[in-house]
């Protein structure tokens, strides 16, 4: 009898993850409470914190406003910046995997060459 009680209390024998039980507020709890912590020392995390702060390069604007203005200005001057801006705003242009119709290849020669055996194309 004691062996059955031991097995019924053994979490390893239960189905599913017992750590995902419901709390009083109705939310589940993590099955790995001692897991990897968030990286608070990352550059991206620090930049996100700075976005709403005042920008020293543009009085009266936040970093977010200044970066948006600067990105737009650079996109007007440089095609690379413009392409990057459009990829982020509109999404990258997808290339179809299968064409709707037949694929047609056109080959255009810009000069005529001798077709006799042993000659090289383009050699004069």
Q: Is the pLDDT of residue 54 over 90?
A: yes
Q: Distance (Å, rounded) from C-alpha 54 to C-alpha 60? A: 7
Between the alpha carbon of residue 52 and those of residues 5, 46, 67, the distances in Å are: 58, 12, 11
Q: How confident is the model at residue 65 (pLDDT cuts 50, 70, 90)?
A: very high
pTM here is 0.44
pLDDT value of residue 109: 72
Report domain extents, the chain. Answer: 52-91
């Amino acid at each position: 009898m004691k062996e059955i009680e031991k097995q019924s209390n053994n979490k390893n024998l239960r189905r599913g993850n017992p750590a995902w039980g419901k709390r009083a507020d109705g939310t589940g709890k993590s099955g790995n409470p001692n897991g990897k912590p968030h990286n608070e020392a990352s550059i991206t995390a620090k930049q996100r914190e700075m976005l709403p702060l005042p920008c020293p390069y543009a009085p009266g604007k936040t970093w977010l406003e200044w970066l948006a203005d600067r990105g737009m200005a650079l996109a007007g001057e440089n095609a690379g910046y413009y392409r990057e801006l459009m990829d982020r705003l509109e999404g990258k242009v997808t290339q179809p995997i299968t064409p709707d119709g037949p694929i047609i290849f056109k080959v255009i020669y810009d000069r005529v060459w001798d077709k006799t055996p042993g000659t090289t194309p383009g050699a004069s």
